[in-house]
Amino acid sequence: MGTYVVTGSASGIGAATASRLREDGHRVIGVDRNPADVTIDLSTMAGRSAALEQIVALAPDGLAGVVPCAGIGGFTDTDPADVVSLNYFGAVELCCALRPLLAGPAAVVLLSSNSVTCQPGWAREVADLCLAGDEPKTREAAAAHDAVHVYPATKAALAWWARREGVKPAWIGAGIRVNAVAPGLVDTAMTKQLRGDPRLGQFADAYPSAIDRPGRPEEVAEAITFLLSERARLIVGTTLTVDGGTEAMLFPTGT
């Protein structure tokens, strides 16, 4: 049994993942802005530094994995710069800072989204800047777009980061597998917030689903815990789409 860090652990997919890991006998260090083992805001550099300090103290024997689920949606009243800072930099910078604690075999699973392939018109330049690693410049670029077009950019950057970095010696060479999952519409508090959005709510259920319903957080958690496990030891740098068939229905011959 190992110790895992799960951010965004107080609700949604993060809470379901933490619960699933605990059911399997693992120890989970939850990180969230709401009450958790580490109660902190990962959208700031100071918050990430404080989170690292607390996690190190709570995990003297190292970590078996990290699942950065903390994130915010691209809603009408959301600051697009904050979407960048929490969704991308809050995930990637914490993973990189925790890498010395990940004693292989270990795993990282990032939370991407099927909005990367299913939502048109998102801000590709923001994704590119995320990967370049300059947070102030990326925040500045994001501010020129609506948050709805920045959200998929951050999720694309996470998937691309997993693909780019996962095959490098610093990660897989140290026995640390890096992958991502890309959920579709999932029945969480974020989805309820989307349905209540004055501009975007009409699009909440616009995409088709082969299973005729939104996903459930625990269904995404099953995919995440599989990728964390040694059963997935051949899967490296990959993004697994977990969306009830939405992407397949929209793009039957590929995206």
Buried b (16+ CB within 10 A) or exposed e, 210-224: eeeebbebebbbebb
Count how many residues are written for the chain.
Answer: 255
In angstroms and rounded to an integer, the radius of gyration of the C-alpha atoms of the chain is 17
Secondary structure (DSSP) of 160-218: HHHHHHHTSTTTGGGTEEEEEEEE-SB-SHHHHHHHT-TTTGGGTT-S--TTSS-B-HH
Q: Which two tokens stand for residue 153?
A: 């950019």
4 carries an active-site annotation: no
Contacts of residue 252, defined as CB under 8 A and 6 or more positions apart, other chains included, come to none
Helix (H) or strand (E) holding 16: helix 12-23
Q: Contact, 31 vs 9, CB < 8 A? A: yes
Task: Check 4, 88, 151, 207 and give the catalytic one.
Answer: 151
Please give the positions annotated as active site: 151
